[in-house]
Amino acid sequence: MEKPANNVKILKDFVTRYQKANGKSVSFVPGWDCHGLPIELAAVGDNLSLPPAEVRRASLQRATRCMTDQLAAFKELNVLADWNRLYSTLDPSYQATVIRAFHDLYANGFIVREHKPVYWSKTTRSSISDSELEYNSEHESPSLYFLVELLIQPSWVPTRYRRYPTNVVVWTTTPWTIAANEAIIFNPLEEYSVLLDKEAERNLIVASYFVPLLHKLLGCAPSRFEMINSLRGECFENYAYEPPLSRRRVHHSHDYRRHHCYRLMPGELVKHEKGTGFVHCAPAHGKEDFEFARRHGLPVRALVDAETKFTQEAGADLAGLFVQDEGNSAVVNRLGDRVLALGTIQHSYPYEWRTKRPVITRLSKQWFINTDVLEGPAKVAYAGVKVFPPERKSMMHAFIEKRPFWCISRQRNWGVPIPVLFHKHLHNQALVDGDFIKAVAERVSREGSEFWWDSATSNSQLIPPECLKKVYFLPLMNSLVAHVWDLGACLNITSHATVALFPSPQWNLTPCAADTELIRGTDIFDVWFESGLSWLAVLPKDRVADVCVEGLDQFRGWFSSSLLLSVAMTKRAPFKSLVVHGFTTDSEGRKMSKSLGNVLSPQAVISATKGCTDVLRRWAAASGLGTRSTVSISAFDAHTVAYKKVRPVTLLLAIISGFLNFVNQMCVLYWRHSEFKTTPSFFLQLRNMFRFMLGNVHDLVAAKGSVTLPISKGSPSVLVPTETLSLLDKWCLCLVGNFFLECFEVYYPQHRYEGLIADCDQLVSRISTTYFNAVKDILYCDASDSADRRAVQHTFILITGVLRHCLGPILPDLMEEVNAALGATFDTITEPSQVLHLAAIEWSRDFAHLPEAVARACALRQAIAARQHTEVGGERAQLWPGPASNPLARLHIILDENGACSKDFEDLKYLNREVDAGNTSVLCKILRCASLRFGSTSERSNCIELSLDDLDKVVCGEKIEAGEGAKLHHLTCLLRVAHDSTQCPRCRRYCSTNKALCARCALLVSDPQQVSY
């Protein structure tokens, strides 16, 4: 919902249109994820006290409005989709699929409900999963070094130092978690030092590597401390310590056995050369701490509520304080003289990626998917998935490996409810019954899920009668379970231990008892669990998509959740390939997102700048999946450059590519002016190219008829056969044939749109600069039905046919205009992609020798043109006259054969086969000179001699690297300047005498019906 400039739709539209152009049946069903926190927060606004029913109503209205607006915009933008088969997560059938999947996963042992530390958002008062986090490297936390006093003096403290209290030094960046401390952990293999603090008269224990840092921390001289012992950490095991927040200081003679829970314990949580060598363990607020506590039987105390405030169990002076705010300060104050040093530290800290606020880790009872057992199968399934660009494929692994348990429950109001009831008198033990869940899913498929929240719907109305009659346990057994549960609570045994002894208590209830003894669950499914089942809810048959297109952030979201859920339920990946694009960013380089409120809508851009859809699509494709590209809102002003003919439909999804700086493999797509402003000029050049070609085929046939493209010599066609084309025409077809093959064999299949656009720009530049300039004389001055003119027109139609197929997916509006122009001349144009593919293969193969030869000719032209002006006596002088648009127009050129590289002359002579007419050869047309012939430099009278030695080949301004065999070596040419009187007044060539018409023009003027213009 509310995608920033909706960059996904452009990329999806490229894929859809390419596959259809390739002759495939494509089913693109547009869908909307309508649940989730962004919609809920946007609907609620500042009114956080709205009742849940009002929150759902407001969220539904907003989601429906957004979906309606986007649907209208996509249709207006001519996005190719099946608009009669839409889906959304609001659909009752979709929600029913989610509920049924929950039951199937639970029945197969993938879903459990347990007390575990989970990431918790203060802003949303809900659990969040690891995949919803981002890490802020500039977060500032307290840096607290505090003392923990041992209750008895260890034997390894020398006798004369035992009169001083012995303390271990502990470091933490979360002081508020000290309230839940249950143990201090050390590294048994680490070397530790026992120091006497002479100034404070106390013994301190730290890791030996920390001793120099201790001096720096306290800003004191090393002489303040005396080393009294050095020993390995294994000596500390089971020494008891005084609880850090104890108000009463315990003396050494005190009976410490009552404090047996608070002791030093060995563990792997202590990393070498990190911290002081001691780590404080708060099982309720750390996943590693929790697992450590479970292994060692430590109690787990939950002292923080859903609002992230301390509860009464934390003490009267802490109760009600937000732990990350005043809670930290209160804990530090309570530590008193136990504080050794206090400062701040800037470090990486988890933030909720939607609200951009820091989170905490809090003990909570939630529903989890055990993804640990799915890691191996998921990697195997993912190995067969293609990812574009390929270097991004490894990014999925991090989101499969780093979350052994996926928390799928949320304490929010806008979403699909988890259909579970709870026993009031059995510590809210969950009732998970397959028949009940199926009944709820069936009702949801008919009515939607709102009835679950409706208090007017009683539990007895929800529960099928056959469920109430089930007797899994006798009342006596239920009572026994309750007593064992109470005993477990007293002994700090976590819930999973009890569940292991007794299965979940079941029904055996009357309808009246169901209404009074059962509580309806209020949790909803994680939105990624919900959207991750789209393959199950939407796809037909085998439930596998050919391609999924989304942004890089979906590796942590939709991609990974879909993969894990599909592997759990079908043992295979739900997609064959992934196309991954980047983020849209604002002018400050921030990702455009709903949570930041910096989304730029397509309608806002189009209304502000009068932009054009195809211009933006072309720029979007040119940005590429792996390139860095920058543009700003002001840059759209550049797109007011006249694109007059094509209708300016609403902006289609402004940005497609570029990658956020993520895992050091991505780059950013900014909105700035520098690169975007070049797009209209290239686009206008392409459009003018089509205008030139189509404007010159108006008289191709005497009457309208069908045009078929010949794919082999001698095939029937209204146009001239391919073998009658000139070398220049064939060179042009070779270029477009190579371009077609690259598009449909490389660029589109591999989603390398930036390569396609780059090649297209180069192709357009070469054809416009070399071919069009060379054939204008033929088009304008030859007889209207001359073989050369018909060949050029034939070539124009072939070029148009190729570019229509190659550029149709990216520039659909321009191609519609081209089709309309063709339709004004021809009844039909038959050019299926398979036919063009065969033709492109033929052109690329048969004319492969021409590009290098033409490249040498272009290099020769530019080399001669570059010598027109020279420095004489410090002033710029012109060696021969000639217009700036064509410096060679007045030159009769003689190329010296003596001493020149044989390869150079071989190629140039090949282009000058029409030796009998000195101004009609292909080489002469490329050079655009008055005439050209090969001869000897002995003819030097009235000539300018140029020596061209080792000149780099340059074609249409593009420098081709040396080593391709396309340099001109030791070439000498003589230039004779034509007299003004030799210019033909009709064709403007210097090939006549005494200002008369040249022979060709004189013949045509005598027969006006032959004149083309």
Q: How is 573-608 classified by DSSP, letter by letter? A: -SBSEEEEE---B-TTSPBP-TTTT----HHHHHHH
Nearest to 274 by CA among 176, 138, 172, 147: 172
**Exposure string for 902-913, b = 16+ CB within 10 A, e = fewer:** ebbbebbbbbbe
pTM of the model: 0.79
CA 998 to chain centre: 63
Q: What is the CATH number of the domain that holds 203?
A: 3.90.740.10
Helix (H, G, I), strand (E, B) or coil at 630: strand
pLDDT averaged over every residue in the chain: 80
Task: Please report the pLDDT score of residue 251 as a whole number.
Answer: 44
pLDDT higher than 50, residue 954: no
Task: Please report the pLDDT score of residue 202 as a whole number.
Answer: 95
**Does 859 fall in a domain?**
no
- What's the total number of domains in the chain? 4
Task: Please report the pLDDT score of residue 447 as a whole number.
Answer: 93
983-1004 pLDDT tens trace = 898 888 888 777 788 888 888 8
**Does 434 fall in a domain?**
no
Task: Please report the pLDDT score of residue 824 as a whole number.
Answer: 76
Question: Among the three residues 670, 687, 720, which one is the final residue of a domain in this structure?
Answer: 670
**Does 548 fall in a domain?**
no
Partners of 120 in the beta sheet? 127, 360
Q: What are phi and psi of 464, to 5 degrees?
A: -60, 145
Range of the domain at 757: 678-848
Decide if 948 contacts 971 (C-beta within 8 A).
Answer: yes
Q: Are residue 195 and residue 331 in the same domain, yes or no? A: yes
127-155 pLDDT tens trace = 887 777 889 999 999 999 999 999 999 99
Task: Please report the pLDDT score of residue 900 as a whole number.
Answer: 57
Which range has the worst mean pLDDT, 88-97, 187-196, 374-383, 612-621?
A: 612-621
Q: Please, what's the largest Cα pairwise distance for the chain?
A: 129
440-482 pLDDT tens trace = 999 999 999 999 998 888 888 888 888 877 654 433 344 444 4
C-alpha distances out from residue 901 to 76, 530, 852, 965, 973, Å: 60, 70, 15, 11, 13
Mean pLDDT (whole number) for 867-896 = 79
pLDDT higher than 50, residue 504: no
Q: Are residue 296 and residue 280 in the same domain, yes or no? A: yes
pLDDT higher than 50, residue 204: yes
Burial degree of 717 (CB within 10 A; 0-12, 13-18, 19+): middle
Mean pLDDT (whole number) for 309-317 = 91
Burial degree of 941 (CB within 10 A; 0-12, 13-18, 19+): exposed
Q: Are residue 684 and residue 658 in the same domain, yes or no? A: no
Decide if 180 contacts 274 (C-beta within 8 A).
Answer: no
Nearest to 727 by CA among 839, 893, 848: 848
96-124 pLDDT tens trace = 999 999 999 999 999 999 999 999 998 88
Which strand (E) or helix (H) includes residue 210?
A: none
**Does 486 fall in a domain?**
no
Q: Torsion angle, CA of 389/397/122/418, rounded to 10 degrees? A: 100
Question: Among the three residues 312, 343, 374, which one is the final residue of a domain in this structure?
Answer: 343
Tell me the residue type at 435.
D
pLDDT higher than 90, residue 492: no
Q: How many percent of the chain have pLDDT more than 90?
A: 41
**To which residue do tokens 């933006």 refer?**
616
Task: Please report the pLDDT score of residue 404 as a whole number.
Answer: 73
Name the range with the highest mean pLDDT among 46-50, 71-75, 710-714: 71-75
Task: Please report the pLDDT score of residue 471 as a whole number.
Answer: 52
- Structural tokens at position 158: 């020398």
Task: Please report the pLDDT score of residue 484 as a whole number.
Answer: 41
**Does 430 fall in a domain?**
no
CA 505 to CA 472: how far, in whole Å?
7
Task: Please report the pLDDT score of residue 652 as a whole number.
Answer: 26
Task: Please report the pLDDT score of residue 710 as a whole number.
Answer: 45
**Does 803 fall in a domain?**
yes
Mean pLDDT (whole number) for 488-506 = 40
pLDDT higher than 50, residue 206: yes
CA 960 to CA 963: how far, in whole Å?
9
Task: Collect all residues with Cβ–Cβ distance below 8 Å to 804 and sequence separation of at least 6.
Answer: 815, 818, 819, 831
**Does 190 fall in a domain?**
yes
Q: How many CB atoms are closer than 10 A to CB 583?
A: 22
pLDDT higher than 90, residue 252: no
Q: How many CB atoms are closer than 10 A to CB 336?
A: 11
Q: Are residue 840 and residue 896 in the same domain, yes or no? A: no
pLDDT higher than 90, residue 607: no
Q: Are residue 306 and residue 172 in the same domain, yes or no? A: yes
Question: Among the three residues 343, 367, 393, which one is the final residue of a domain in this structure?
Answer: 343
Q: Are residue 650 and residue 688 in the same domain, yes or no? A: no
DSSP secondary structure, 706-768, as one string: -EE---STT---SS--GGGS-HHHHHHHHHHHHHHHHIIIIITTTT-HHHHHHHHHHHHHHII
pLDDT higher than 80, residue 575: yes
Which strand (E) or helix (H) includes residue 450?
A: helix 450-453
Q: Are residue 27 and residue 162 in the same domain, yes or no? A: no
pLDDT higher than 60, residue 631: no
Q: Are residue 807 and residue 937 in the same domain, yes or no? A: no
CA 239 to CA 969: how far, in whole Å?
88
Mean pLDDT (whole number) for 591-618 = 62
Which range has the worst mean pLDDT, 502-516, 577-591, 766-780?
A: 502-516
Which strand (E) or helix (H) includes residue 479?
A: helix 475-490
Task: Please report the pLDDT score of residue 605 as a whole number.
Answer: 52
Q: What is the CATH number of the domain that holds 755?
A: 1.10.730.10
Mean pLDDT (whole number) for 45-50 = 76
> Pick the residue with more confidence: 37 or 774?
774
Q: Are residue 741 and residue 622 in the same domain, yes or no? A: no
**Does 396 fall in a domain?**
no
Q: Are residue 697 and residue 662 in the same domain, yes or no? A: no
Confidence of residue 507 (pLDDT cuts 50, 70, 90): low
Verify cis geometry, omega within 30 degrees of 0, for the bond prior to 38: no
Q: Are residue 67 and residue 148 in the same domain, yes or no? A: no
Q: Are residue 698 and residue 835 in the same domain, yes or no? A: yes
- Structural tokens at position 301: 């105390």
Mean pLDDT (whole number) for 748-765 = 93
